[in-house]
Amino acid sequence: MVLEGYYGASDDEQASAAIRRALDAGMNMIDTADAYGNGHNESLVGRSIAGRRQDAFVVTKFGIVFDEREMGTDLATGWGFSLKINGTSRYVRKALNASLHRLGVDVIDLWYAHYADPATPIEETVQAMAQGVRDGKVRYIGLSNVSAEQVRRAHKVHPITAVQFEYSLWRREVEVDLLPTLRELGIALVCWAPLGSGFLSGTVGSLNKDDFRHNNPRFAGENLQKNSHRFLPLLKLAEELGVTPAQLSLAWLLHQGQDIFPIPGTRRADHVLENAKAADIQLTYDLLKRINELAPPGLAEGATLV
Ligand SMILES: NC(=O)c1ccc[n+]([C@@H]2O[C@H](COP(=O)([O-])OP(=O)(O)OC[C@H]3O[C@@H](n4cnc5c(N)ncnc54)[C@H](OP(=O)(O)O)[C@@H]3O)[C@@H](O)[C@H]2O)c1
């Protein structure tokens, strides 16, 4: 998503270099969506993995509609605007073929419904996605930004492999309901914004005027100041441990279980390598306890987005 300029300008050449560097470093899950850059990002990913398909676990999402001629249901978000969502079986089929074409692949490794369509039973959406599996166009099915109850219903129609939801040291409510349900059902949690949309890297000062994070209440004027103050002890702990704040946040997530998969976004090949090294960090029980005390659930100020 960040390769489409949401959090600052991005250029395709640099973006492709970052993707290839990730594959070199063994970070093989490449997460995109038909919504990112309205199809542009899937094409970018397709070009970037061309010739090394076997190195990449290709993941995309569908369901957010930008085409004026296409139907959809308005879904309010915490960003202060609505998204148009379509999860009907007709649209699911159409979206799959379009994503395969843009990605230039025969099969998508993991395919998510980006949001559940409020006007379409989730059973219908998943049934249509499952047809993609039967047709050999999709390996695994996932859901994104859903409730525990929606996961249970969907999982009865076809096994759900992964659920994608925001999870990091500045947003932890999945721990209450969603994650226990996923564990009961044997479903992985893929954490979007594992760096708190960049906040937990400790490098976000003021935002450029067209930065998408202006829509995020946690980055709004006073909240950003409050959050910078509240998370300072965590950032200082990273310094004490000789790692970067981004690495500490990713390492913490990786220690929450083998079923937890953070997908940090970056436009920069050097950040890719920095983030990959988080997998080598060992956190002791005492350190995990300390991190939990420094950044307990509910510490961040500002409403959440989804
Ligand atoms: N399912 C959904 O609804 C949903 C929603 C949001 C995101 N996502 C997915 O999750 C991915 C990650 O989320 P996200 O990109 O929103 O947030 P994120 O991964 O928490 O943070 C990305 C930001 O962190 C910065 N960053 C990354 N590594 C850094 C490092 N080592 N040092 C300093 N800064 C660093 C990046 O800036 P630089 O580019 O300058 O490195 C970027 O601005 C997205 O790209 C997207 O694929 C899914």
How far does residue 1's CA lie from ligand 1's centre (Å)? Answer: 7
> Helix, strand, or coil here: 103?
helix
Statement: residue 51 has pLDDT above 90? yes
Strands 162-166 and 188-192: parallel
**Rounded-to-integer distance, Cα 5 and Cα 102, Å:** 19
246 lines ligand 1 (CB under 6 A): yes
pLDDT for the residue numbered 110: 99
pLDDT bin (cut points 50, 70, 90) of residue 81 is confident
Q: Using an 8 Å Cβ cutoff, are 136 and 100 in contact?
A: no
Sorted by sequence, the CB contacts under 8 Å of residue 230 that are 6+ apart come out as 299, 300, 301
CA 284 to chain centre: 27
Residue 83 φ then ψ, to 5°: -110, 150
Residue range 5-20: mean pLDDT, rounded: 95
Tell me which of 6, 7, 36, 167 is the catalytic residue: 36
Give the pLDDT band of residue 305 (cuts 50, 70, 90): low
Q: What is the pTM of this model?
A: 0.97
Return the C-alpha torsion angle 76, 82, 84, 87, nearest 10: -20
Q: What is the pLDDT of residue 189?
A: 98
Q: Decide: 142 in ligand 1 pocket, CB within 6 A.
A: no
CA distance 306 to 178: 13
- Per DSSP, the three-state class of 163 is strand
* Sign of the dihedral through C-alpha 204, 205, 206, 208: negative
Ligand 1 touching residue 263 (CB < 6 A): yes
Question: What share of the chain has pLDDT > 90, as a percent?
Answer: 92
pLDDT score, position 205: 83
The CA distance from 76 to 80, in Å, is: 8
- Closest atom of ligand 1 relative to the 198 alpha carbon: 24
Q: What is the pLDDT of residues 280-292, one digit of tens each?
A: 999 999 999 999 9
| Rounded percentage of the chain residues whose pLDDT exceeds 70 | 99
Ligand 1 near 1 CB (within 6 A): yes
pLDDT greater than 90 at residue 241? yes
Q: Which amino acid is at 100?
A: L
Check: CB of residue 120 under 8 Å from CB of residue 72.
no
Q: What is the mean pLDDT of residues 150-169?
A: 98
Decide: 248 in ligand 1 pocket, CB within 6 A. Answer: no
From 195, 199, 272, mutation site for ligand 1 pocket: most ligand atoms within 8 A of C-beta: 195
Query: What pLDDT score does 221 carry?
Result: 82
5 C-beta closer than 6 A to ligand 1: no
* pLDDT beyond 90 at 192: yes
Whole-angstrom distance between the N-terminal and C-terminal Cα of the chain? 16
The predicted model gives 114-143 an average pLDDT of 98
Distance 274 CA to ligand 1 centre (A): 13
Helix then strand then coil, in percent of the chain rounded to 5, is 45, 15, 40
Residue pair 283/291 in contact (Cβ under 8 Å)? The answer is yes
Q: What is the arithmetic mean of pLDDT over 64-89?
A: 92
Whether 285 is catalytic? no
Backbone φ, ψ for residue 189 (5° rounding): -110, 120
Confidence class for position 207, pLDDT limits 50, 70, 90: confident
Q: State yes or no: pLDDT of 78 exceeds 90.
A: no
Which domains, from first to last, does the chain contain?
2-294 (3.20.20.100)
